Structure 1
C-alpha cells in the first residue's frame, strides 16, 4: 500500500527547499487537508505519488516565495489592479484562443506561463519574453513538442503565452485543477461550496507582485471564474467580464477528454464512469452560475463572445468584442493578432479527437442539463 501524503511533511519540504518559513496567511491549509484526505483514499503508483507530492510542494514553495517578496516590497500591495478583463465560460469553449489573441494587444498585460511558474523575482516590461527563465522554458517546450508533437493539439500554450489564473490560485489550494487528478468527490464538493474570498485576495496579491516592474491593464483567463463571479467582483469591482460560448455537447466531450489525460498522468488510469458523471455536472454548474449571476447583475454586466464566431472570422469577432467592451482596438494590436493567427492555424499540431460515447454519454442524455442554457442563448451546434 502506498504511503499517504502528509500535509506537515509537504510544508516542511517546501520550507527546506526555499529557506523560508512564513506564509502570508493559513487560508491554504483547509484546502490542502481536504484534498489529501480524499487523495489518500486511493492507491497510487510510486512515481505518480511522487509527481503529486512534488507539485504540492511547489505550490507551497511559490506561496512562501510570494509572501517573502511582497514583505520586502510592501508598497506593491498599495498599487491598484484597475479594470482587469476576465475571460471565462464552461470548460473547453475557446477561452485559450481568445486569451492568446487579447495578449497580442500591447495595451494589455497578461500573466505568462513562465512567470506564473517562477514568479520571484518578477520580470520587467523589457524582459517579459526575454528573461532567462522564459528562454529556458521555451527550450524545454521545443524539445517536448519535437518528441511528442501531438501534445500541441490538446492545449495551445507556450512559456510566453498567457496561462490560466488557476495556476496561481492553486497556491491557496482551492482549484479544479486539483480535482482533475483522480476521483476526488469530497474535494470537489467542498471546493464548489466553499468561500473563495481568500483565493481571490491572494489572486490580487500575486498580480501585484507580477506587475511590480511590468505594469499594465490585466488580461486574465480561467473557465472556472464562472463559478465564483460574485466573489471575484468583491475583489475587482470594476472588472470587465467576458463569457465564451460554445456548443455545450462538444465542449463537454472535449472536457472529458482533457480530464482523462489528467487522470492518466496522476493515477495511471482513467475512470471513464466517473468522468461521465463529473464533467457534465461541472459543465452545467458553470453555465447555471453564470446565468444566475447575470440575472442578479443585469445582462449588460457580462459581454458575450461565441466560439463559432471567433473560429470562423477571428478579427471580426475581436472587433465586435472590443466595441462591446468600449475598448479601442489599435492597428498595432490587430496586426499582432493577425500574425499570431498566421503562426497558429487551427490543427497546427493535429486534431483533438474525442467522443461522448467513450464516457457513457450522448446528446440525448445530456440535453436536460443544458436545456436552460440553450433556451436562452443561440449557440451554434458543432455535431
Structure 2
C-alpha cells in the first residue's frame, strides 16, 4: 500500500519536536489538507517519504517557533515594514539574479537562506553572516553539492544568500513550492483561486520577527508574487514592485527542467505531458496576472527589468 500522509500526525510531530503546542492561527490547515490529499493519490517512493514528511514538519515547526517568539516580544508586530521591494515574474526570468544584485547594496535587508530555515532566535545585524547556524548550513551545503553537483545547474543558492519568500509563506501552506512536489493538480487549482490574505499576513509577521535586531529596507523575491499582486498591495501598500523579463521559450524550458528535477526528487516519476501543460499554464498565469495588475493599479506601478 502506498504511503499515506496524515495531517494530524505531522502536526503532532512538529509539536513534539519543538515542545510547543500553539499556532498563531489555523489558516495553514486548509492548504495542508488539500496538499496531502493530492500527495496521497500518488505513489511516493520510499526514499522520498521522509524527505516530503520532513519538509512539512519543518514548516509547521518553524510556524510554532515563530508564534512563540512573537508572543514573547509582541511589540515587534507594531514595527512597520516600509517600502519593501518585491521582485517577481514568470519563473526562471532572473528573479534570483536581480535579488542577489540588489542585496549587494548594504542598505538593503534580505531574508537569508539560513535564517528562513532556522529563524528563532532571529539574528542581529552583526551575526547575519557568521551565526553558528549559518556556518553549519554552509558546510551542509558544501556536502550536498559535492554529492549532487547537478543541483547547481538549476538553482544557485547559499546559506548566506537572499532566498525566496516561498520558503516562509510555505508555513501557511499556500505556495507553489508545495505544488512542485509532484503531480498535484487539485492543490494547484485551489491555490490559484484561493484568498491569499492569510499567507501575506503571515509573511509580514515573519519579517517583523526577522527584523527584530537586524533591521533594514527589505529586498524580497518570489516569482509567484506575480499571481497575487492585489493581495500583496493590501498588506504592503507602499511596496515597490519589479517585474523581470526573459525570452519566454528559454524561461519556460528552464522552468520545465526545474520542476522535472523536483518531481523526480519527491515522486520518483516525471509525467512529461503533464509537466509541459502545467508549466505553460503557470507561466501564462504569471504573465497575465501581472498585466491585469497593471491595468488595475497603473502602468508605472511596476518597474520592468530585462534579463539581458
Question: Between Structure 1 and Structure 2, whose CA radius of gyration is higher?
Answer: 1
User: 1-side partners of 2:278 and 2:148: how far apart?
Assistant: 29
CA contact (8 A) 1:227 1:289 kept: yes
Structure-1 residue corresponding to 2:124:
124
CA contact (8 A) 2:3 2:44 kept: no
**C-alpha deviations, 1:58-107, integer Å up to 9, x for none?**
11001000000000000000000000000000000000001011111001
**C-alpha deviations, 1:281-305, integer Å up to 9, x for none?**
0000000000000011111000000
Q: How many residues align?
A: 308
Q: Write out the 4+ residue segments of structure 1 that deviate beyond 6 Å after TM superposition.
A: none
Deviation at 1:140, TM superposition (A): 1.3
CA contact (8 A) 1:2 1:46 kept: no
CA contact (8 A) 2:103 2:162 kept: yes
CA contact (8 A) 2:241 2:303 kept: yes
Over the aligned positions, Cα root-mean-square deviation in angstroms equals: 0.8
SS in 2 for 1:149: coil
User: 2-side partners of 1:51 and 1:145: how far apart?
Assistant: 17
User: 2-side partners of 1:179 and 1:172: how far apart?
Assistant: 13
User: 1-side partners of 2:144 and 2:40: how far apart?
Assistant: 31
TM-score w.r.t. structure 1 length? 0.79
How do residues 105-120 of structure 1 correspond to structure 2 at under 5 angstroms?
105-120=105-120
Q: Which moved more, 1:51-60 or 1:110-119?
A: 51-60
CA contact (8 A) 2:84 2:219 kept: yes
Structure-1 residue corresponding to 2:138:
138
Q: Which runs of 5+ in 2 are unaligned?
A: none
Q: Which runs of 5+ in 1 are unaligned?
A: 309-383
User: 2-side partners of 1:298 and 1:181: how far apart?
Assistant: 36
TM-score w.r.t. structure 2 length? 0.99
* Bigger RCO (CA 8 Å, 6+ sep): 2
**C-alpha deviations, 1:246-303, integer Å up to 9, x for none?**
1111111100000000000101111111101100000000000000000111110000
Structure-2 residue corresponding to 1:84:
84
SS in 2 for 1:215: coil
